[in-house]
């Protein structure tokens, strides 16, 4: 064998090789420092190199890292399920642990379908979703994702789950003004349900704040109340994909809480392990689980590493750290500060079209013309260039946008670890400003 290869996102690109991380910074082997302005992919919520987590990992590894869930339960898994149930609103008391956000959304879809089967309604098996969305890369999760660029090569294998437009107020897909739209984009769900037939639909899934596909698209007040009300009226379960928004990213354990909505099923991921271990979860309410408990008594899904004690111990330690440091309390204040600082850039750089978000999940959308909101042509590759220049300058930001659909533009997500200080946020904004200046 002459050469061996590690497959990276861009096969022909040279990536810096990371050495270590501490707090909000990563360092490569050359000693260059990067401010992690995106927590990787909105994941490293408590920053890098946190000693308490390293200690918890070591302690668990010394006891046992893996057991097969059909043979053993474990203390970390039991405690984690209990702590999560006590930290989220409502009676989302059932946790099913998996290893990635894609697995969590696919498990959500399967639990929803199984719920109706066990209730004697097997035709209720379609899942509806929105365009400009991302629910994961495996085929079931991709079926639900309204992300044309990621779907394109696999359409023959995918279900047509996306049926309604997103709440994208900056570029309302229905051409309405947020002041007097009457939440028509939420009502589109009712129209879709009537067309498809509630008897054929198990659930509707949505990201409370749209991440990768749109760049922190934040719905108008009342949107999720309307969505939940429509779902309830038609006996359709509401799945919140909180893989990116959950675990405190927007200032509460679930983003949905902030609109007073309790989902029937929730998918969690990313911040759950905060990058220290692969772990994700599907939470289900008592109502969702009841027919399954009275019927098959088992969720018809699972993975070899589901609920492994090592990952569960990490997630438990992350939650305990978040409690000890009162991290959630500060997210709104920090988010407001960062939003305000970014809005200053708006004045200087006319190609900033929109700044939106919740907590420490902020999206910045770029346009060729701020008045007409005309997007940059694809061959300009604005976002990719900005992300690369920023990384050269020592700032990591996350590219967003669903591509090739004509409605979502060039955006980035700014989502530093929730532990970032005000001073570090100032540094983030200075670095971003330098990157934008290079692009101007």
Does residue 134 belong to the site contacting ligand PLP (CB under 6 A)?
yes
CA dihedral sign, ordered 342, 347, 349, 352: positive
Of the residues 21, 165, 215, 269, which one makes contact with ligand PLP according to CB under 6 A: 269
Does 244 engage in binding with ligand PLP (CB under 6 A)? yes
**Residue 47 vs 136, nearer CB to ligand PLP:** 136
* CB closer to ligand PLP out of 141 and 352: 141
The answer to whether residues 227 and 186 touch, using CB atoms and an 8 Å cutoff, is yes
* Shortest CB 135 distance to ligand PLP, Å: 5
Both tokens of residue 366? 């770029």
Q: Are 142 and 154 in contact (CB under 8 A)?
A: yes
# binding residues, ligand PLP (CB under 6 A): 16
Candidates 131-139, 232-240, 327-335, 372-380 — which segment interacts with ligand PLP by CB under 6 A?
131-139
Considering the rule CB under 6 A, would residue 101 count as an interface residue with ligand PLP?
A: yes
Query: Residue of minimal CB distance from ligand PLP?
Result: 101
Beta bridge partners of 25: 22, 35
The DSSP secondary structure of 409-435, one letter per residue, reads: -EEEEE---TT--HHHHHHHHHHHHHH
The pattern of x and - marking residues 289 through 328 that bind ligand PLP according to CB under 6 A reads ----------------------------------------
Closer of 394 and 417 to ligand PLP (Cβ): 417
Max Cα–Cα distance, the chain, nearest Å: 65
- Between 130 and 135, CB nearer to ligand PLP: 135
Q: Which residues, including other chains, have CB under 8 Å from residue 439's CB and lie 6 or more apart?
A: 382, 385, 386, 389
Of 223 and 367, nearer to ligand PLP (C-beta) is 223
One of 40, 47, 136, 173 touching ligand PLP (CB under 6 A): 136
Nearer to ligand PLP, 90 or 101 (CB): 101
Please tell me the distance from the alpha carbon of residue 301 to that of residue 280, in angstroms, as a whole number: 14
Cβ closer to ligand PLP: 217 or 292?
217
* Cβ contact 176:140 at 8 Å: no
For ligand PLP, the binding residue among 118, 241, 410, 424 (CB under 6 A) is 241
Asked if residue 102 binds ligand PLP (CB under 6 A), the reply is yes
Site residues (CB under 6 A) for ligand PLP, limited to 29-68: 41
Quote the CA–CA distance of 434 and 424 in Å, as a whole number.
Answer: 15
Rounded to whole angstroms, the Cα distance separating 390 from 404 reads: 24
Decide: 37 and 416 in contact? Cβ < 8 Å.
yes
At 336 the three-state DSSP class reads: helix
In the complex with ligand PLP, the residue whose CB is nearer, 101 or 215, is 101
- Alpha-carbon distance of 278 to 428, in angstroms, equals 27
Residue tagged 């779907």 (tokens)? 151
Should residue 207 be labelled a site residue for ligand PLP when binding is judged by CB under 6 A?
Answer: yes
Q: Which two tokens stand for residue 161?
A: 């789950």
- Is residue 212 close enough to count as binding ligand PLP by CB under 6 A? yes
Give residues in contact with ligand PLP (CB under 6 A).
41, 100-102, 105, 134-137, 207, 211-212, 241, 243-244, 269
């Amino acid at each position: 064998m002459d050469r061996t290869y590690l497959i990276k996102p861009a096969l022909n690109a040279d990536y810096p090789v990371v050495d270590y991380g501490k707090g909000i910074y990563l360092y490569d082997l050359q000693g260059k420092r990067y401010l992690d302005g995106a927590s990787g992919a909105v994941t490293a919520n408590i920053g890098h190199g946190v000693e308490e987590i390293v200690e918890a990992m070591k302690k668990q590894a010394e006891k046992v890292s893996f057991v097969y869930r059909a043979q053993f339960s474990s203390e970390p898994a039991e405690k984690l399920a209990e702590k999560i149930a006590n930290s989220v609103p409502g009676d989302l008391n059932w946790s099913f642990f998996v290893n990635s956000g894609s697995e969590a959304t696919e498990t959500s879809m399967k639990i929803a379908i199984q719920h109706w089967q066990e209730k004697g309604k097997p035709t209720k098996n379609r899942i509806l979703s929105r365009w400009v969305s991302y629910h994961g890369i495996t085929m079931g999760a991709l079926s639900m994702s309204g992300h044309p660029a990621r779907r394109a090569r696999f359409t023959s294998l995918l279900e047509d789950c996306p049926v309604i437009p997103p709440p994208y107020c900056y570029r309302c897909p229905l051409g309405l003004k947020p002041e007097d739209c009457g939440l028509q984009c939420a009502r589109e769900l009712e129209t879709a349900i009537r067309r498809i037939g509630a008897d054929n639909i198990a659930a509707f899934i949505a990201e409370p704040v749209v991440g990768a596909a749109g760049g922190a698209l934040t719905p108008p007040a009342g949107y999720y109340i309307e969505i939940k009300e429509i779902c309830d009226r038609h006996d359709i379960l509401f799945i919140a994909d909180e893989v990116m928004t959950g675990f405190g990213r927007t200032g509460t354990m679930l983003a949905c809480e902030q609109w007073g909505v309790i989902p029937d099923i929730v998918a969690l991921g990313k911040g759950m392990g905060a990058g220290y271990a692969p772990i994700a979860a599907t939470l289900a309410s008592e109502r969702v689980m009841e027919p399954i408990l009275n019927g098959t008594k088992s969720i018809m899904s699972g993975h070899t590493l589901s609920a492994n004690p090592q990952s569960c111990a990490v997630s438990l330690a992350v939650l305990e750290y978040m409690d000890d440091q009162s991290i959630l309390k500060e997210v709104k204040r920090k988010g407001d500060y960062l939003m305000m600082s970014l809005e200053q850039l708006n004045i200087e750089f006319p190609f900033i079209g929109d700044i939106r978000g919740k907590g420490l999940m902020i999206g910045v959308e770029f346009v060729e013309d701020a008045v007409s909101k005309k997007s940059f042509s694809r061959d300009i590759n604005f976002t990719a260039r900005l992300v690369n220049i920023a990384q050269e300058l020592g700032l990591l930001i996350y590219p967003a946008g669903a591509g090739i659909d004509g409605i979502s533009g060039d955006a980035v997500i700014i989502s530093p670890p929730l532990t970032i200080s005000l001073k570090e946020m100032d540094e983030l904004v200075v670095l971003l400003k330098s990157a934008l200046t290079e692009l101007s």
